[in-house]
Amino acid sequence: MTTEDLAGKPHKVWSCDRQTRKCVVASSLDELRTKGAAKLGYNNPFDLKVVLEEDGTEVEDENYFQRAERDTVFLMLQPNEKWLPPGVEALRAGCDVVDSSEESSCVFSSECLDPVTLLRHLEMDTGKLALFTEDQLEVLADMSIESVDPDLFSAAFVETVMDTCGRLLVEKREAREAIELIKAFSQSSQNDADDSSLGPDTENEESVPHTKHSREGSSEEDGHAAKKPKPS
């Protein structure tokens, strides 16, 4: 057994908003909770939910924790908190420093393509990001930081908006392409099913005239045979 197995591995514990970041050495999940809570100033270690910072996966199994790499980053969530992607948290942090007297009162429109207006909407409510169209996301993802007045928005806020909108734009386009592919496959399958159901009937219909003609031919042959005189 190594010294690290006895003393534990170094890990990082962050608060939900990612603003408070501490390091701890823990040999078990319970020890991580206890030390992490103390470092972050929480007095309810066993009420905290421990999740992976990168994707929000909850860590509640001791065996899984033992297999975590050194310096893994964990978020310690209070009962009323939930994991959010890094970009969303950064947007919220940017909103906290906005002077409320400068907030725009304009009504959100899906046709608005003005970067400043869109940024104002995000300052007031980051949830509106979910309502942005692809065109609006593209406007914000492609804008340059230098084009934005630093007196209105901080460079960090603008950069986070650009990165988040870029990722959302890619996800929306991939989702749309996947839906179109599914629709095309479904239509193709339906067409194949229609062709399959029509095949036997069509074949039978085509064979009917041939059968009728054969019957008529047989009748004529029988008639000729009946009229043929008997040899003397």
CA dihedral 102, 107, 111, 117 (to 10 degrees): 0
List, for the chain, all residue ranges whose pLDDT scores fall below the cut of 50. Answer: 1, 94-106, 203, 207-208, 211-212, 214, 225-226, 232
Cβ density class 59-86: b for 16+ within 10 Å, e for less: beeeeebeebeeebebbbbeeeeebbee
Give the separation between CA 44 and CA 47, rounded to whole angstroms.
5
The pTM score is 0.42
pLDDT per position as a tens digit, 95-135: 444 444 344 444 567 778 888 888 888 888 777 788 888 88
**pLDDT tens digits, one per residue of 59-70:** 999 999 999 999
